[in-house]
Structure formats: structure tokens, C-alpha cells
Structure 1
Amino acid sequence: MSPLSKVASFLAIVGIVGCSASPTGRNQLLLFSDKDMSHLGAQSFEEMKKQTPINKDQKINRYVQCVAKSVTKHVPKQSGFNDWEVVVFDSDQVNAFALPGGKIGVYTGLLKVAKNQDQLATVIGHEIAHVLADHSNERLSQSQLANAGLQITDIALGASSYSQYRGMTMSALGLGVQYGLILPYGRTQESEADIVGLDLMAKSGFDPNQSIDLWKNMAKASNGNQPPELLSTHPSHNTRIKDLNQKINSMPNFNVAKPNCTL
């Protein structure tokens, strides 16, 4: 098959199976199955655990696990995996991530900025929202579309193609900073994760108003220098505060018991 024919075939597949909508109704291009994405997420997470020290402090782990479980128990059942795995990594990075396949990583540096359970839940909810909104799939699909000359069979990413497209995969999963690549999520996706994540943490019993204080803490943490990784491609501070306040003012009272996670 000629390169032109490959492109034509690829675009035909896009037209047939690629159309979807995000939780906020935004049109998305999704070319990969939930099974594919869960497989990639699991592989990437195992690689992270081999390369980044895992925190063994029981108190810290109980705290992070408490907050994460309080949020994930309100997440709808996901295709491709049954349970969420949460790991605390020893790193000064002010960051966290969630991967397809139910993988959540929290860096100890984040706990210096997320001052309480509500603020930590804001970040965890935000990262889970990226998974729920298929943002990794979207970014990987965009990368694939940009390289439409690749063989169409590579759409089904298995173990063999994981190594070939490792950089692209890590970037699309939100792990780009750790691997020297550009952080993948754009401002539209970050704003969407803010709103979806806020709704998720509030439904879990956490105080959504604390999200404002959390992002103010994030801004202060930069001290005029390089901002924390979580802010790398986010909307401006003022835009975020405005959007979050608007969302908070329109939220109903979920009447959910407040979790009791302490550090």
C-alpha cells in the first residue's frame, strides 16, 4: 500500500470510529480502545515504580490512600480495570498524576503545598478527571493522526509498539515532564479537568472552596520562578479562580459525609 493510500485508509478509520465527546460536551478524537489505554497506563506505571523511589512512611501513605479512596469510590465503574492503585513517590516535585488503567501517583512534594485533605482531593480529583475525560487517548490519537503515514496496524498499541512509541506514549499519558518531554495536556483539557475534578471531589464530601486556596498555594510556591509542574500548561491564575468560583456557585449541596483523612 502506498503512503497516500495508508493516509486515506487512516482518515477513513478516523471518520468511522474516532468521534466522541468529553464530559463537558467537547468533541474529541479517540482512536484507541479502553483496553489499549489501560495496558499502556499499567506499563508506564510499572516503569515509574522502578525508576522513582516509593515512599514507605505509613502515616503519609495512610493519609494519601484515605483521600484517594474517598474520591475513587465515587468514580463510576470504568472499562478496562477494576480497582485504583495509589502509590506515593518520594520526590520534591509538586505534582501528581493518574493514568488509564486506574493508576494514581502522588509525589511527597505536593503535600507541602496541598495543606489539607480538601486541597489534596482537589489535585487527585483533577488528575482522575483527565482519565475520565480520555485526555491521554485524545493526545495519543492526535499524535497518531499527525503521523498518519505510520502503518495502520500500529493503532492497536501492544507490547511491541510500546517501546517504539515510548516517548509519545509517556507524553500522552501526562508523564512528559519526568521524561524530558513537553507536558501534553493543553489548556482546554486542563480547564476541563479542573471542572470535572471539582465536581468529583465535592461529590466525595470534600470542600470545593478549598480548591481556590490550593491553586493560590500553587502560585505562591513558584516564588516568581518556574511554576510547579501542575501549573505548566494551565490557564492563568485569574482565569482558573474565576472559572472555579463560577462552578462552585452553581454546585448543589451533595449532602455527603465529610471524609476524615489526617496527616
Structure 2
Amino acid sequence: MRKVLALAFITILFIECSTVPITGRQRVNFVSDAQILPTSFQQYNGFLKENSSKIVKNTAKANELNTVGKNVAAAVDRFMRANGMTAEADSYKWEFNLIDDKTINAWCMPGGKVVFYTGIMPICANTDGIAAVMGHEVAHAFAKHGQERMSSAQIQQLGGAAIAIGSANSENSNLWNMAYGVGSQLGMLSFSRTHETEADKLGLVFMIMAGYNGEEAINVWVRMGQNAEKSGSQAPPEFLSTHPSNQSRIVGLRDYLPTAKKYAAKFNQQAEAMLRNSTAK
């Protein structure tokens, strides 16, 4: 039985392994868009209904957020269509909403449903800052991090079952279970940090593709750190956190900025050439 489960586990990893565009990271994802998007859209609509009185509309900030969101989404759409991802591009239903809430947060559900809280707007500080956060959140949807986390949770359950069965009659069963429990917990935390770091990189590329200043992505995290110091909030050690530290993100973004600029410039040139050729025809 143990061998059967192990074989099934390896088969899933082999068959369902794909590559995240731009970063080239290998991912395992066997949760299809057809499975997750209807639920994602339903949950998003439910959230908006529950928070209808908090939705900010027809203000300068709400309009700015919507404009930036559309610009970043358009850049992602152009990239997908230029790289043979037409079906995926068609599946996205982009929507951007601002919620009146002091929480410093923003998120994007699978399929392109984005929410910013008013609490994060001072951290964004300007249009380019909004684009930096927008690019990061949109990147989560683009890289299918939600689907990948669901797949990872299912694989984790399968792995746990294999260990439980394989070591049921072993004197070391408690040790195995303990190792699996700690290892899987910290593994999942690291997995989440991987997603955050990848979203930082992809978001930087996307905001630059959309015409925004990539330098501001670094400044957003500088302001985030300053706000944390001012409020006196203490983050857990990075290896026990689901997110990289503010300083790690600043260093990572600064290091990746030249690459992001080159990638965005190259793609925009290709996109312009494709547009000229299609117009000429």
C-alpha cells in the first residue's frame, strides 16, 4: 500500500508539473481553472455583498485604483496572448474595488478579482505605489498561486497518509509523524514565502510593462517597514512567517529591478512590433 501511494504521489508530481512564465519556477498544480474560478467569483461577489456599505465609489482614489488596475491587467493580458495563453486570458474577469477599512492589506482572488483596503493607500502613497501593490496582487492570480496552494494541501494530505501507513508498525512511528508534522508545517510556510517573492518579481515586471516606475515598488516596502516601526508591531522570525521580511523584499526588489526593466522593455518592443505587423495586414 505504501508503494502504491508513493507511486501515485510521484506520478502526480511528474504529470502535473508546469513552469511559471517569466520566473521559470517549476510548480505542481492539478486544480484547473474550471474547478476554482466559479467558486472564486462567487466568493468575491459574496464579499462585496457583505461589505456593500464599505465599497468606495466615484472618488479620486477609487477611480485612480481602477485606472491603475486596468492598465496593469491590460499588460498581463497582452503578455498572455502573445505567449499562447489566450484561453487563460479569456478566463480572467478583472475587477478592482476599494474597501473603506483601516487594515493595511490588498488581495487578488483567482481569475483577477482585486480588493484594496483604504488602509494601504497611504503606504502606496502615489500612483506608482498603487501600481506596485497592484502588480504584486495580480501576479498571484497570473502565477496561479491559489490553485497551487490547493494542490499542495492535497499532496500534503496524501504524504501524511503514506507516512502513517508505512510506519504504523514501526518503533519509529512517533518520530516519523513528528518529523512530518514539523517538516510539512515549515515547508508550507516556506512555500508561501516562495509565492510572495515570486509575486514581487512578476509584479515588478508587470507594473513596468504597464508604464509605471518600478523604483516605487522598493519605496512601498520602505514605507511598510517605517509604518511597522511607528506602530511598534513585531513580526515573527522570517523562517516562521508566511511572508518575507520587509528588508528581504527591499533587497530582493532592488536586485531584480534591472532584470525586470530589461524584460519589460523587450516584451513591450515585441508587442509594438506585433501590433504594427497586424495593422499593416
Unaligned ranges ≥5, structure 1: 151-181, 257-263
Percent identity over the alignment? 31
Divergent runs of 4+, >6 A? 3-6, 182-185
Shift of 1:5: 9.8
Q: Which residue of 2 aligns with 1:161?
A: none
Instruction: Compute the TM-score of the two structures, normalised by the length of structure 2.
Output: 0.69
Identify which of 137, 140, 148 aligns with 1:127: 137
1:79-90 aligned within 5 A: 79=89, 81-90=91-100
Larger RCO (CA under 8 A, 6+ residues apart): 1
The answer to whether the 8 Å contact 2:75/2:209 transfers is: yes
Indicate the SS of the match to 1:254.
Answer: helix
The answer to whether the 8 Å contact 1:126/1:193 transfers is: yes
Structure with max Cα Rg: 2
Q: Which residue of 2 aligns with 1:243?
A: 252
Task: Select the structure that is richer in helix.
Answer: 2
Cα distance change, pair 64–226 in 1 and its aligned pair in 2 (3 A): farther
Deviations 1:24-52 (A, max 9, x none): 12221101112112123212212221333
**Hey, what's the Cα distance between the residues in 1 that align with 2:56 and 2:69?**
17
The answer to whether the 8 Å contact 1:80/1:101 transfers is: no
Does residue 139 (structure 1) correspond to residue 139 (structure 2)? The answer is no
Shift of 1:22: 2.1
**Residue type of the partner of 1:22?**
V
Q: Which residue of 2 aligns with 1:159?
A: none
**Residue type of the partner of 2:65?**
V
Q: Which residue of 2 aligns with 1:21?
A: 19
Shift of 1:114: 0.8
Q: Which residue of 1 aligns with 2:104?
A: 94
Does residue 254 (structure 1) correspond to residue 265 (structure 2)? The answer is yes
**Hey, what's the Cα distance between the residues in 2 that align with 1:55 and 1:203?**
29
Instruction: Compute the TM-score of the two structures, normalised by the length of structure 1.
Output: 0.73
- The alignment covers a number of residue pairs equal to 219
Shift of 1:71: 0.7
**Hey, what's the Cα distance between the residues in 1 that align with 2:194 and 2:36?**
21
Does residue 70 (structure 1) correspond to residue 71 (structure 2)? The answer is yes
**Residue type of the partner of 1:205?**
G
Cα distance change, pair 184–83 in 1 and its aligned pair in 2 (3 A): farther
Q: Which moved more, 1:240-249 or 1:64-73?
A: 240-249
- Cα RMSD, aligned residues only: 2.9
**Hey, what's the Cα distance between the residues in 1 that align with 2:67 and 2:140?**
20
Q: Which residue of 1 aligns with 2:118?
A: 108
Shift of 1:106: 1.0
Does residue 234 (structure 1) correspond to residue 243 (structure 2)? The answer is yes
Cα distance change, pair 246–184 in 1 and its aligned pair in 2 (3 A): closer
Identify which of 233, 241, 244 aligns with 1:225: 233
Does residue 214 (structure 1) correspond to residue 220 (structure 2)? The answer is yes
The answer to whether the 8 Å contact 2:56/2:97 transfers is: no
**Residue type of the partner of 2:200?**
D
1:184-199 aligned within 5 A: 186-199=192-205
